[in-house]
Structure 1
Amino acid sequence: MRVFIAIEFQDKIKDYLKEIQDLTKAKSEKGNFTIKDNFHLTLKFIGEVDLTLIEKIKEAIDKAVIGHNNFKLYFNKIGKFPRGSKSILWVGLKIEKELYLLYDKIENELEKINIKKEERKFTPHITIGREVVLKENFNNFLKEIELKKLPILVDKVSLMESTRVNGELKYIPLYVKNFK
């Protein structure tokens, strides 16, 4: 089973991300674009695990969210991770102390059950497309998109399974832990 820990979004946030993605598609020659239902913020990609580890991961999530209060996130920029002539395009989130505290708690609890900490710096982002080739220069593309300051309520953490259903990639919640 392939799993990760994420913050899921309300439908209005997914709808807005889809608007941004549609603008991006119109300015792209090609790309592999995330389906709307799969928009999320990854806190920890874990990868392939067997079922015996799932319960331990759930317990780690439970411990990580103890005392954590609801908070809000906001979009702050569109970015890219270059991959040769193609890019992973994403919508970034404004750095919030609460998000980093949650991220650190999750990393620390998972390390206790022998899931290695991430070595790369945490860059909170929502992937809108992979292997994207823009029709124009990235900086020109950025000038055409202005992000709204929509509040994204964070009140829970989800353990997600990444699987294919009828050939389509789906992210399915296996466990959801509310903060309160």
Structure 2
Amino acid sequence: MIRLFTALEIPDEAAEKLARLQQGLEGARWIERGDLHITLRFIGDVAENIASDIDAALAEIPVAPFEVELEGVGEFGGARPNALWAGVRMSEPLRVLQGRHESAMRRVGLKPETRKFHPHVTVARLGRAAPEDVGRYIAANNLFAAPRFTVGRFTLFSARGGTGGGPYVAERRYPEDEWPENLRDGDG
């Protein structure tokens, strides 16, 4: 079994801005800079043969470059916050791309995602953070914004089982990076 999800990677300039958010909240478990991403579709634990079908379905999804904007902060969990996030401004290209991911996963035979798509970048897990401290943190950082960036591809990631997932491994990028033929099979 392998745990998979699809996401947009965060470029260095935006990741640097996000990293500056990662302080000032006791009990927060900050996400490593290299693991910051915008989830498009959580796939979950699947058998290796299903992973091959997923890869084939994802390879068919067209991606036209579009801009992404990060703004604001918030939490998931309500009265018992469990994750702190930076918001991602919804755009039509982002909505379309996420919808294509959902459709592709249904064609592979996965169950539909039941949660509404809420684009975000998780910046911390909050297992031990006090709810009142989380509220103060959000109030102090609610004007967060990062420079717009352009995305032109998405990534299939694997994650270890359990809570928090990271470190994440980029299994494949779509469209696939162009590599010299002799390096594709790892023999160069």
Deviations along 1:106-139, one digit per CA (max 9) or x if unpaired, are: 111110110122111100011111123366461x
| Moved >6 Å (runs of 4+) | none
Q: Which amino acid aligns with 2:57?
A: A
Q: Counterpart in 2 of 1:171?
A: 168
**Secondary structure in structure 2 of the residue aligned to 1:120:** coil
How far apart, in 1, do the equivalents of 2:77 and 2:176 lie?
35
Match of 2:29 among 22, 28, 32: 32
Q: Over aligned residue pairs, what C-alpha RMSD do you find? A: 2.2
Deviations along 1:62-88, one digit per CA (max 9) or x if unpaired, are: 2222xx310011012211112654431
What's the CA shift for 1:148? 2.7
Q: Which amino acid aligns with 1:8?
A: E
Match of 2:138 among 129, 137, 142: 142
Paired residues of 2:4 and 2:46 also in contact (CA < 8 A): yes
Match of 2:44 among 42, 47, 53: 47
Q: Which amino acid aligns with 1:46?
A: I
Match of 2:85 among 64, 75, 90: 90
CA change 1:169–1:137 in 2 (3 A) is closer
Q: Which amino acid aligns with 1:95?
A: M
Structure number with the higher strand fraction is 1
What's the CA shift for 1:149? 4.2
Paired residues of 2:72 and 2:145 also in contact (CA < 8 A): no
Paired residues of 1:29 and 1:135 also in contact (CA < 8 A): no
How far apart, in 2, do the equivalents of 1:179 and 1:122 lie?
25
Describe how 1:114-133 pairs up with structure 2 within 5 A. 114-131=109-126, 132-133=129-130
Paired residues of 1:78 and 1:89 also in contact (CA < 8 A): yes
* TM-score, normalised with respect to structure 2: 0.81
Paired residues of 2:66 and 2:150 also in contact (CA < 8 A): yes
How far apart, in 2, do the equivalents of 1:112 and 1:137 lie?
40
How far apart, in 2, do the equivalents of 1:55 and 1:10 lie?
27
How far apart, in 1, do the equivalents of 2:95 and 2:139 lie?
29
* Structure 1 stretches lacking a partner, 5+ long: none
How far apart, in 2, do the equivalents of 1:84 and 1:137 lie?
10
Q: Which amino acid aligns with 1:81?
A: F
* Aligned pairs, number: 170
CA change 1:12–1:54 in 2 (3 A) is same
Q: Which amino acid aligns with 2:112?
A: K
Paired residues of 2:13 and 2:147 also in contact (CA < 8 A): no
**Secondary structure in structure 2 of the residue aligned to 1:112:** helix
User: How many percent of aligned residue pairs carry the same amino acid?
Assistant: 22
Describe how 1:71-86 pairs up with structure 2 within 5 A. 71-82=66-77, 84-86=79-81
Q: Counterpart in 2 of 1:60?
A: 57
* Structure 2 stretches lacking a partner, 5+ long: 178-188
